[in-house]
Structure 1
Amino acid sequence: MDISLNKSTKNTLFQKIEQVRRRQGKVQDTHITLAHGSGGKAMRDLIDDIFVSSFDNPILSQLEDQASLNLSNLLQQGDRLAFTTDSYVVDPLFFPGSDIGELAVNGTINDLAVSGAKPLYLTCSVILEEGLPVEILRRVAKSMKAAANKAGVQIVTGDTKVVHRGAADKLFINTAGIGVILAGVSISAHNIQPGDVVIINGELGNHGTAILIARGELALETDIESDCQPLHNLVETILKVCPQVHAMRDATRGGLATVLNEFALSSNVGIRINEESIPVREEVQGVCEILGLDPLYLANEGKLVVVVARENAEAVLSAMKSHPAGKDACIIGEVIASPPGVVFLKTAFGTERIVDMLVGEQLPRIC
């Protein structure tokens, strides 16, 4: 049957169709299904309802296959780009003090920050297991948005994949981040020199201990929370008083011990730290003694290791203490010329022992 429409009617019809097509979809299912990764309407509804509505910003709202960033705006903030990526597979997804969403945002921000970069843009790609409750995904997305807002960054593009039940463990997140490094700042583990001072911004092992307790495999109760936090503002505070920071790194997997070993190997120097100067909560120390763990290797998600020339150490320490994320900062050791590539710990008994690189994994899936 041939139906002829006048021009006005056609325009009205096309406008209504376009309005329907542009209307933000809503997830109808209570759990993730394979259809949510199929590329069809169910996937579009999931993206609209969970991610676009949560991460809403002018760049993301274009819904292109990539985010277009203004280069002139970037060049006004620095002279180099910092680019990083990380994946998060933490178990459980929610734990005291944080969750996988906030962890993904802050972890990527911190990887940028330790280069001296100002974090600006993040991506968010998720791998979802069939059967994951949609409400859990919604909570994670809102947590990511809150963390991004707090840090002043935008989540501008992403991707969604769904795998069969049992092919993943609920939810994995991959993030990439772009930041701009300030002119005149050159932070690298290769810059470390004998005589330098090692500083950290607070207590070690809180994140790893919080994850361990949250898994419920041990009959232990504590009020320890993850130290998950963004560190870029603390780094900015440090660089204002000392743009010549030699090295900086966040102590995540492998903890402080791993970072120091990486520093020693990169610059072919030795490092000596003082056990009595290293801040560890009594509860964390107690858990470690019960389970035979070492707090030097426990993961952190808000701890920064800074190496500076000795003449700048007090100024940097004072600046760190003036910031909430560095109020418990302290000097824990020094860089020595030899033996190169070795980290020593001066114990509370006055003896010394070698702190080697972690062999194996004390606690898997902590970030």
Structure 2
Amino acid sequence: MSHSVTDSTVLLGHGSGGQMMKRIIDEVFLDAFGSPELLEGNDAGVATLPASGRIAMSTDSFVVSPQFFPGGNIGRLAVCGTVNDVATSGANVRYLSCGFILEEGYPMDKLHQIVQTMAETAHEAGVSIITGDTKVVERGGADGVYINTAGVGEVPAGVALSGANCRPGDVILVSGTLGDHGIAIMSQREGLAFSSTIESDAAPLNHLIADVLSAAPDTRCFRDPTRGGLASTLNEFAQASGVAMEVDEDAVPVRPGVQAACEMLGYDVLQVANEGKMVAVVPAEQADAALSAMRAARYGENAAIIGRVLPLESGARPAVRVRTGWGSTRILDMLVGEQLPRIC
């Protein structure tokens, strides 16, 4: 990777539209991303999609603080977050755009790290970054760097995943341990020390989703439990489908360090953000096949069946319950307010 940009920090001129802007685009972004569509230098990247059929598209903005944390940085987060959002539709994720808002004075070596990480993560996911944008704001106008990414993919014929598809008798799965990302950011931001390093779980899960769909073709829906964690995801499913859901607390995979940190900080781990986990709801008869596919996939070795979909009792509203190890139940509400700001 070339580091021939001579300026040590981002300057206002890098967003000017002139020679300095061309230099940072050529030597930072094009050098790392380098897709044929991007290298053409047009205002829009022209790419191939099916002549007929459906596409899925999503966009997200990333403002995480700090920008570097155990297990990744804002660049990995930006690629994984959008890849996973598009992939939850069952789409074959193909292309990404990326927009950078840079603060004057941001260190150029850190920008190189972020961009290189984005390139490596996109390669891992099998997607191309085909267009982008760069803006520079005055000192104090942003916190170093913000990134927006948008993604697009092809939805195969016959695939129609939705949170409104859940039916009584269905089974709920998660692809791995919960709470890793939120606690990693908290520990880094607050300078908390634990006996072992807690790392963000940020990961592209499009290949895992494809494997699950192949093994369990009648999967109802996928969702990545980011802000609000598993609690928000399951409540959204329950409300969209008009059902109740029950989670077995002892079946939910959580790393001991994450569980200890949540207890110390007063957090419910089921409400803590994740960036490399996937929730799936599948028909009961396909649950074992879906679980095996998750566990065989990269990033899915700790997958587990954690609960079930139930019919609503007469007069009841859609809700999510947690069954504790003691046999009692409690209501699992969506997160109220912001548990930890700027988590992604």
Which TM-score applies when normalising by structure 2? 0.96
State whether residues 216 and 287 of structure 2, in contact with CA within 8 Å, keep that contact through their aligned partners in structure 1. no
Matched with 1:201 is 175
Indicate whether 1:359 and 2:336 are aligned: yes
Deviation at 1:222, TM superposition (A): 2.9
Confirm whether residue 66 of structure 1 aligns to residue 40 of structure 2: no
Quote the residue 1:257 is aligned against. Answer: 231
**2:20 corresponding residue in structure 1:** 42
Q: Distance in 2 between matches of 1:151 and 1:25?
A: 25
The one-letter amino acid paired with 1:32 is V
Superposed displacement of residue 218, structure 1: 3.1
- Answering whether residue 49 of structure 2 is matched by residue 55 of structure 1, we say no
Determine the structure 1 residue equivalent to 2:100.
126
Structure 1 residue 288 and structure 2 residue 266: aligned?
no
Contact 2:171-2:284 within 8 A present in 1 as well: yes
Give yes or no for the alignment of 1:32 onto 2:33: no
Q: Specify the alignment match of 1:21 in structure 2.
A: none
Which amino acid in structure 2 is aligned with residue 363 of structure 1?
A: L
Post-superposition offset of 1:215? 1.4
Q: 1:191 aligns with which of 139, 156, 165?
A: 165
1:107 aligns with 2:81: yes
Aligned partner (choices 215, 219, 222) of residue 248 of structure 1: 222
Query: Which residue of 2 is the match for residue 238 of structure 1?
Result: 212
Task: Give, in angstroms, the shift of residue 94 of structure 1.
Answer: 0.9
Are residues 1:349 and 2:326 paired? yes
Alignment partner of 1:202: what SS?
coil
Q: Which amino acid aligns with 2:317?
A: P
Whether the 8 Å contact between 1:197 and 1:308 is mirrored in structure 2 is: yes
**Cα separation, partners in 2 of 1:362 and 1:48, compared to 1, 3 Å:** same
1:184 Cα deviation from its structure 2 partner: 1.3
**Matched residue of 1:326: which SS?**
coil
> Structure 1: which 5+ runs fail to align?
1-23
Deviation of 1:340 after TM superposition, in Å, equals 3.4
Deviation at 1:201, TM superposition (A): 0.9
CA contact (8 A) 2:3 2:28 kept: no
Aligned to 2:311: 337
Deviation at 1:189, TM superposition (A): 0.5
Worse-matched range after superposition: 315-324 or 326-335: 315-324
CA distance in 1, matches of 2:150, 2:297: 27
| Greater Cα radius of gyration, structure 1 or 2 | 1
Which letter maps to 1:312?
Answer: Q
Name the amino acid aligned to 2:105.
G
Q: CA RMSD in A?
A: 1.5
| CA-CA distance at 1:112 after TM superposition | 1.0
Q: Which residue of 2 aligns with 1:303?
A: 277
Percent of pairs identical after alignment?
Answer: 49
The one-letter amino acid paired with 1:356 is D
Report the Cα distance in structure 1 between the residues aligned to 2:12 and 2:281, rounded to whole angstroms: 48
Structure 2, unaligned runs of 5 or more? none
Structure 2 counterpart of 1:153: 127
> Segments of 4+ in structure 1 off by > 2 A?
24-28, 216-222
Q: CA deviation at 1:115?
A: 0.6
Classify the secondary structure of the residue corresponding to 1:361.
Answer: coil
How far residue 25 of structure 1 moved from its aligned partner, in angstroms, is 11
Question: What TM-score does the superposition give when structure 1 sets the normalisation length?
Answer: 0.90
Shift of 1:221: 5.0
Instruction: Tell me how far 1:28 sits from its aligned partner.
Output: 2.6
Which whole-Å deviations, capped at 9, do the CAs of 1:187-212 have from their partners, x for residues lacking one?
A: 10111111111011110001111111
Residue 324 of structure 1: CA displacement?
2.6
Q: How does 1:202-221 map to 2 (within 5 A)?
A: 202-220=176-194
Which whole-Å CA distance do the structure 1 matches of 2:266 and 2:256 have between them? Answer: 15
Deviations 1:196-240 (A, max 9, x none): 110111100011111111114435453111111111111111111
Q: Assess if the C-alpha contact under 8 Å between 1:25 and 1:48 holds in 2.
A: no
Q: Counterparts of 1:106 and 1:218 in 2: how far apart (Å)?
A: 26
Q: Counterpart amino acid of 1:360? A: G
Question: Is this contact kept in 2: 1:123–1:158, CA < 8 A?
Answer: yes
Q: Does 1:116 align with 2:94?
A: no
Aligned pairs for 1:76-115 (under 5 A) are: 79-115=53-89
- Could you tell me how far 1:27 is from its partner in structure 2? 2.5
Structure-1 residue corresponding to 2:137: 163
Choose from 174, 196, 211 the match for 2:148: 174
Asked whether the equivalents of residues 124 and 159 of structure 1 are also in contact (C-alpha less than 8 Å), the reply is yes
Instruction: Give secondary structure in 2 for the equivalent of 1:175.
Output: strand
**Secondary structure of 1:183's aligned partner:** coil
Higher mean Cα deviation, 337-346 or 167-176? 337-346
For the 8 Å contact 1:27–1:42, the answer to whether it is kept is no
1:318 paired to 2:289: no
Match for 1:70: what amino acid? Answer: T
Q: What whole-Å deviation, never above 9, does each CA across 1:305-342 have from its counterpart, x for those lacking one?
A: 00011111111112212223222111111111113321
